[in-house]
Amino acid sequence: MRIELQALQREIPTITGMKTHELCECLAMIGFPVDGTDTQPTAEVLEVDVTANRGDALSHRGLARDIAARLDAPLSPIPVAPNQESEALLPIQLETDACPIYSTAILKLDCASANQTPADTQAFLTAMGSNAKGLAPVDASNELLYRYGHPTHAFDADKLKGGICVRWAKAGETLLALDGVQRSLNTKDMVIADDSGPIALAGVIGGDSTKVTENTKRVLLESAFFAPQTVRASARRHGLHTDASIRFGRGTDTSFVKTARDLLADRLTSWAGAELLGAWTVGQYPSKPPGAALTKKVLHRIAGEPIQLDEAQKILLRLGCQAETFDDTLNVQPPSWRHDLSIAEDYAEEILRIRGYDRIEAALPPFEGAPEPLPRSYQQKRTLSRRLTQLGFYQTVTLGFISPEADARYSGDSQESRTLLNPLGLEYSVMRSSLLPSLWNVAEANQRHGAKDIRLFEIAPVYKSTADGPVETNILGIVWAGFIGGENPLTPIRPVMTADLIAIARDLGFTGNVNLIALAQNAFGLEIPLDQLAEPAEKVIPTFQPFSRYPVVTRDLSLLVPLELSYGELESSIKSAMTPTPLQDIRCVDVFKDTRLTAEGKQAWLVRLKFQSSERTLTGQEVESWVQIAIDAAKPHGGILRG
């Protein structure tokens, strides 16, 4: 946000003699870092960062409040005339709770007169990046917005058709806004309307039909409080992020409505010689937000050191809060402009911020007690991930938003409560009800890059539509596509089948009916809610087997065996016969068949034996004796050495 130095000094005279770099350091210490300065011929401007939760600081007055609290300095009084309330000259109706109070006034003035805006105000608006328009109602409204943070608006009173009504837009209504764009309104948009229809999008932008021009003779002023969530939603819906919507969307000062109207009326009177015909207010100020009880214990916990309650109370009072001490507790009520303060921890952080973070001593956190056990839900997810990884699957992380078309292909659930109001794009506009669309997109990408065996899984939440909004459920999604096998002669290549995924589900402990979905040819997917899977077993730490420092000895046996012999039978017999030997591994590494062998009902297997001792180096004589044991174990199965 742009802050003009002289305007800030008007709000808090104490900083008049402060050097710019000292002021920048002060702002940074209270949470408003200065990105840079812009020295102009008539002004010095600071570029200040303001966080999204501090809508009250989007003005010179707002920043001055925090600076004054930090420096314990007084603020300049707001120069406002006495109460100017009178009888209503025009009917005002509030038909929605999103606008609890609406303050207005009608003034008579001639906008055709030149030089209505003072030169210092024109220079101030230029410094703010908003050049003066030469129309006193418009320039005064903009000046007040930057100075005090409360948006106001001026209508040409003679262009109004009947009274003013603050209501929700009706289906089919449109608004030609001040930017010249005709917009179709939504029934969730709050509008300012007269008898002809909408004349402004409340809190966002005015309408072209009632704008102030050089021909304006009477103006109707608007100062109101609009619900932040309503303004934010309308601004996003229509892609309009104006100075007014940014401030209303973050929450304006609820008690400043009449003051802003009176300030605007005073400026028109002093600048352009306007005549006040009447000023009145409809509605009531919204109720004060609930306070919080800040205990000495909570303050100590947040600060990490004892802070006296009387010191904390003084800081809160300087911030505009109401704070009363009862025993070891501060009962705190936030000021009308601070919508970000609600719980005790908020006030504790405010105390530390104004008191100064540099006063907090550095200290290591205490280490007390044993660590807490991992949550069972986390252990379950970790166990599933490890097991599926052991089975050759790759864990995938995909976005939680998909397109409506992709969602509809895999779900019969309604999309109404799962559709985003402000999505990044149509393809990310629905909260997913299934993991399979995203997983299948990843699988297809792998297929295009030549992958043969694609095994993917994801453990993530999906959403189901309800009358109260989307409900989250954690599930496991698995996609298996392509072909498996072919690594050796004993496992020929074949396509993925449904039985493969059913076996995976059973391996994971799922005992229910496995609902498989055919994604494409040789591609299947399944989803299992995590609450239908077994709880993780207690952790078992395996016994460590030390690695041998002695060499491995390898021997190959070329055996002729019957065609009908199962390799598993032969392997089991050899392992049983070699129980006392240091046999580390046995496997078939090659299979040979030709016409002659097949005619004899034979085939040739190349069986590789690996021996290794953990105590000594093996001798050739003992290895040969173990090989002979393997040959003898093969004979009962019809296996003989190939000549």
Q: At 188, is the pLDDT very low, low, confident or very high (cuts 50, 70, 90)?
A: very high
Q: List alpha helices for 241-340, DSSP H.
A: 243-250, 257-272, 296-303, 309-318
Cα–Cα nearest to 90, from 161, 167, 153, 152: 161
Q: At 537, is the pLDDT very low, low, confident or very high (cuts 50, 70, 90)?
A: low
Q: Which residue has the tokens 């601004």?
A: 235
Fold of 2-71: Phenylalanyl-tRNA Synthetase; Chain B, domain 1 (3.30.56)
How far apart are alpha carbons 238 and 253 in whole angstroms? 25
In tens, the pLDDT along 41-57 reads: 888 999 999 999 999 99
In this structure, CATH architecture of domain 92-283: 3-Layer(bba) Sandwich (3.50)
Q: At 352, is the pLDDT very low, low, confident or very high (cuts 50, 70, 90)?
A: very high
| Mean pLDDT across the chain | 91
In tens, the pLDDT along 292-350 reads: 999 999 999 999 889 999 999 999 999 999 999 998 999 999 999 999 999 999 999 99
How far apart are alpha carbons 294 and 369 in whole angstroms? 28
Fold matches, 2-71 and 292-357: yes
Q: Quick check: 540 pLDDT over 70?
A: no
Q: Quick check: 361 pLDDT over 90?
A: no
**Least confidently predicted of 92-101, 278-287, 402-411:** 402-411
User: What H or E segment, with its residue span, contains residue 100?
Assistant: none
CA angle 472, 475, 481 (to 5 degrees): 135
* CATH 3.10.180.10 is held by the domain 376-532: no
Q: Quick check: 535 pLDDT over 90?
A: no
User: Does 187 or 374 have the greater pLDDT score?
Assistant: 187
Cα–Cα nearest to 557, from 490, 633, 621: 633
Sheet architecture: strand order including 640-641: 583-592, 602-611, 553-562, 640-641
Residue 294, strand partner residues: 330
In tens, the pLDDT along 511-530 reads: 888 889 999 999 999 999 99
In tens, the pLDDT along 440-488 reads: 999 999 999 999 999 999 999 999 988 888 899 999 999 999 999 877 7
Give me the percent of the chain exceeding a pLDDT of 70: 98
Q: Quick check: 35 pLDDT over 80?
A: yes
37 Cβ neighbours under 8 A, 6+ residues apart = 20, 24, 44, 45, 46, 47
pLDDT, residue 623, reads: 94
Q: List alpha helices for 128-176, DSSP H.
A: 136-148
pLDDT, residue 304, reads: 87
Give me the percent of the chain exceeding a pLDDT of 90: 77
Q: At 630, is the pLDDT very low, low, confident or very high (cuts 50, 70, 90)?
A: very high
- Average pLDDT over every residue of 125-130: 91
Question: Which amino acid, one-letter code, is at 97?
Answer: D
Cα–Cα nearest to 109, from 224, 222, 263, 265: 265
Beta carbons of 402 and 428 less than 8 angstroms apart: yes
How far apart are alpha carbons 205 and 199 in whole angstroms? 9
CATH superfamily of 553-641: Ferrodoxin-fold anticodon-binding domain (3.30.70.380)
Beta carbons of 483 and 419 less than 8 angstroms apart: no
Q: Tell me the domain boundaries of the chain.
A: 2-71, 92-283, 292-357, 376-532, 553-641
Q: Quick check: 411 pLDDT over 70?
A: yes
The CATH class for the domain spanning 292-357 reads: alpha beta
3-class secondary structure, 563: coil
Q: At 417, is the pLDDT very low, low, confident or very high (cuts 50, 70, 90)?
A: confident
User: To 10 degrees, what angle do helices 243-250 and 136-148 make?
Assistant: 40
Q: Quick check: 370 pLDDT over 80?
A: no
Cα–Cα nearest to 102, from 241, 239, 257: 257
Phi and psi (nearest 5°) for 325? -95, 130
How far apart are alpha carbons 446 and 524 in whole angstroms? 15
In tens, the pLDDT along 221-255 reads: 999 999 999 999 999 999 999 999 999 999 999 99
pLDDT, residue 288, reads: 85
Beta carbons of 140 and 268 less than 8 angstroms apart: yes
Q: Quick check: 543 pLDDT over 80?
A: no
Query: What is the distance between the terminal CA atoms of the chain, rounded to a whole angstrom?
Result: 91
Burial class (CB in 10 A: 0-12, 13-18, 19+), 469: exposed
Which tokens belong to 212? Answer: 């102030």
